[in-house]
Structure 1
């Protein structure tokens, strides 16, 4: 049986935005042995997703089944409100940035390592991310290493992007011209992105260089990618594989699936390709944690 513990972390809103309250909401899932400080994995969702999106609960269950605890959360600027699975925070979404997501991730990982989220073994931690969330994991881990901290024993990325600011020229021109960008959600609703994110990545700062961050890491890395991914092509995964230090990274390409590994939200069944992705990921963390 899995033990579940919700948590909230209150962070300071970024100056100059109309966002009055910035909250990271999440939960910790543990194997049913709460008195033991379990090894754990931090799960980082991607763009327009959340901690209960599609395959994320299935991944959490797969990790818990291997004796690992899971720390999963919603980004404070992902647009998700206190309902945890509804886009009810347009202001937060509009002013979200990569640096804010990195702050969110650092706050969650720090709270876990410092014992604020219950009995977790800070010496046996791993980190996982999907798509944009994967890039945030790479940047986050590299920043910690540059500061002299190496809290993670293993990293796994699904469909990782190799760069930030992945918008086509037409969308970028519209964003510059209008001062905001409309983003269409899966249900057809639209939410605005203000200039905050655009102004952050337009100079292409070295602090957001995903490939440089990957090259600076020294831990076991598993890259999982769909062979039919149109959003982030498999060739990009192969390029990332070459960036990581020699012998430290492995790429698993899952046949027949795209960016979301055949999963839709809500997930009603786990087909063989997704099951394969879950299995290799759980094995990776069980091996190194």
Structure 2
């Protein structure tokens, strides 16, 4: 097999905060379907085994593109979550814009690996909150031809109750503990304001019900973070979706950060194999 090439690139959305992305593929100058991977809350593109996942998809004949959402806390110099001010100023509108900018790049003439991709055949995977995000984006953007979710949420509101919202508004910020780094990560009230101002646009179930693209729902049977019941909530909205529940799998399908092994976790490999099969069926050239 030819050697996999990794092409890093930086994009700058209209909001002005640049973000990093990279593309992995086997260079053969033949158009290949694209799979975009979107991380979740407190996630980043080089977390755990995501680079191994990119290599796996590249080896299966795809161009695998992953990004750091612009306000996830990473910077263009560091892939870990080091910018708490940016993290606190994140919101769903910004994330939707970031995905749009990436899709513009992939379908435009300025793409630095243009000869390797088929811009008419783009699939997308979202993990955890990223799953909700890609469902929202796919409803709005027909350039996305197939959607897969891994351990996806079924709503973007994680359970902000009236008391939390009132305190949030009064204090301007709430904090979320990063159990990996022990950092208290700020969430400024503007996040809730953005969510509340766009109730229909950010309704994951509504987006799933309206989805025209084929959908694969992958979830771990023992997910302690996003219960497997969320997968069935999505299925209720789109009964023709494919569902794959990985027996015994947790939220990250066996991964952690840092991840030092050279092979995908067994559960992640199962999820990846199922997802590759799904995209081969639903993307031309796959």
Q: Does 1:85 align with 2:76?
A: no
- Deviation, 1:82, is 2.2
Which deviates the most, 112-121 or 100-109?
Answer: 112-121
Partner of 2:258: 266
Distance in 1 between residues matched to 2:110 and 2:205, nearest whole Å: 32
Distance in 1 between residues matched to 2:282 and 2:190, nearest whole Å: 38
Total equivalences in the alignment: 274
- Deviation, 1:190, is 1.9
CA contact (8 A) 2:19 2:76 kept: no
Distance in 2 between residues matched to 1:104 and 1:56, nearest whole Å: 19
| TM-score between both structures, scaled by the size of structure 2 | 0.90
- Deviation, 1:221, is 1.1
Distance in 1 between residues matched to 2:57 and 2:205, nearest whole Å: 27
The DSSP-based 3-state class of the residue aligned with 1:206 is coil
Partner of 1:6: 8
The DSSP-based 3-state class of the residue aligned with 1:124 is strand
- 1:125-181, Cα deviation, whole Å (9 max, x unpaired): 11111011111111111012xxxxx22332110011111121353644542332101
Distance in 1 between residues matched to 2:57 and 2:280, nearest whole Å: 8
- Deviation, 1:203, is 5.4
The DSSP-based 3-state class of the residue aligned with 1:79 is coil
Instruction: Choose the corresponding residue for 1:55, options 49, 57, 64.
Output: 49
Instruction: Choose the corresponding residue for 1:161, options 135, 150, 153.
Output: 153
Distance in 2 between residues matched to 1:86 and 1:173, nearest whole Å: 31
- Deviation, 1:275, is 1.7
The DSSP-based 3-state class of the residue aligned with 1:54 is coil
Partner of 1:182: 175
Which deviates the most, 86-95 or 44-53?
Answer: 86-95
CA contact (8 A) 1:62 1:282 kept: no
- 1:27-46, Cα deviation, whole Å (9 max, x unpaired): 1112121x222211111111
- In structure 1, runs of 5+ residues without a counterpart are 14-20, 145-149
Distance in 2 between residues matched to 1:4 and 1:53, nearest whole Å: 16
The DSSP-based 3-state class of the residue aligned with 2:278 is helix
* C-alpha distance 195-221 of structure 1, shift in aligned 2 (>3 A): same
| TM-score between both structures, scaled by the size of structure 1 | 0.89
Partner of 2:22: 27
Q: Does 1:133 align with 2:127?
A: no
- 1:249-280, Cα deviation, whole Å (9 max, x unpaired): 11111111221112101223433222211211
Partner of 1:191: 185
Partner of 2:195: 201
Distance in 2 between residues matched to 1:216 and 1:137, nearest whole Å: 13
Partner of 1:152: 144
- In structure 2, runs of 5+ residues without a counterpart are none
CA contact (8 A) 2:205 2:234 kept: yes
CA contact (8 A) 2:126 2:148 kept: yes
- Deviation, 1:96, is 0.7
Partner of 1:283: 277
Distance in 1 between residues matched to 2:78 and 2:272, nearest whole Å: 23
* C-alpha distance 115-283 of structure 1, shift in aligned 2 (>3 A): farther
